[in-house]
Structure 1
Amino acid sequence: MRCKRLCRPGQRPSRRRASSVDLRKRAARSHGPPRFREVLIQSANPIPSTALAADVRLTPAYYLRPEGLGPYLTRLLTGCSSVFDIKAAMAADLDHGGEDLREGQGVVEDGALLQGDVIVQTGARIEAGAQVIGPVLVCAGAVVAAGAPVRDHSVIGPGCRIGFGAEITRSLLAGHVFMKHPCFIGDSVIGRRVNIGSFCSMSLFQPDCDAGLLGVNGCP
């Protein structure tokens, strides 16, 4: 039995992919089982990318282990489905100043300048000459040294060391972060046991973007 030739001699068979219109027509003409027609219709109407499963690389657990960071940071990190939700959730918690943030009372030395709601947990210390503008949370075991400006909506995690000239604003330092030299952290989330060197600058600010934040409102 000879097979019918589908193209002229010397001509390659066409590899054109079926368009969505072709698939819909094929589904309408199909007399096969319902499942076969359903597959054809699904192929003609693919699932949008937003409906796909969340990328695990966007979850906080991919970058940060919440164990040992204290009750508040553990709740914050486990309650956010994406790393892009951390700052908004943190800012909302600081604005409300919940009781779960106030774990005892740390040390604020005479000569430290505090403005607004500054929460200093047990074992934390703000030294004379430091400037902290709330709302800010300084977690247990953290030290903000003289000459360190810490600005609103920041969380200094357990065991962090903030030295002279190290400036922080609207950021989370997860735990045991060392900033012992002049540097700047703004609008950022810093993981555990990170050592920030002298004159480093980390910020999401982009001067040529109206929104001011990378990746927001159409900014590149």
Structure 2
Amino acid sequence: MADSPVDPQRRRHRPGGAGGLAGREVSMSDTRAHAAPALPSGLKDFLKTVLLLELWVGLWVTLKNQFRPHITVEYPKETVELSPRFRGVPRLRYHPDNGEELCIACHLCETVCPDDCIHIVSEKKPEGKGKRLVSFEINYERCCFCGLCVDPCPTKPLTAIYMSHDYEMADYKREGFVAPLKTLLDGMDPKDYKE
């Protein structure tokens, strides 16, 4: 006689089994006799809907956070203290004593810029060797504020270009996002000058 597939809900125990179950059919529901009765899924959904469980959970989250201190500020009336490592708009430094720009027109920041947003025009100095800066423009529409232009600057220990803490650049015209040399130097805060 070929073995037929066993129905998982109903099994027949072989004779001689333990507990006097010899020859008796036992269903799977008999083995779960001590488990807690489960609610039908439809009744569970009905109770959630009637008792508005989701609403009370949401209200609990709201009430729990209602009395915590506020972390938002009303900008622009209030501003937050920026981290010293914050990378805002790139600016140029000038020496506060003599007012000359520190840039030596080496074009390294222009070369390393991944967005090609820095454009420098320079000419040879008439009084000796080296270059003189004629124009320096940064297109803030293209700038991603990565800070790669600051790293190769050879005017160490003080770099001529630095990442300022300025971040308010809203404007109504596209031309306002192209910063010429005068704007880049005027934006320097004397406290940004570190000797």
Superposition TM-score, scaled by structure 2 size: 0.24
Structure with higher RCO (Cα < 8 A, 6+ apart): 2
Structure with bigger gyration radius: 2
TM-score by length of 1: 0.22
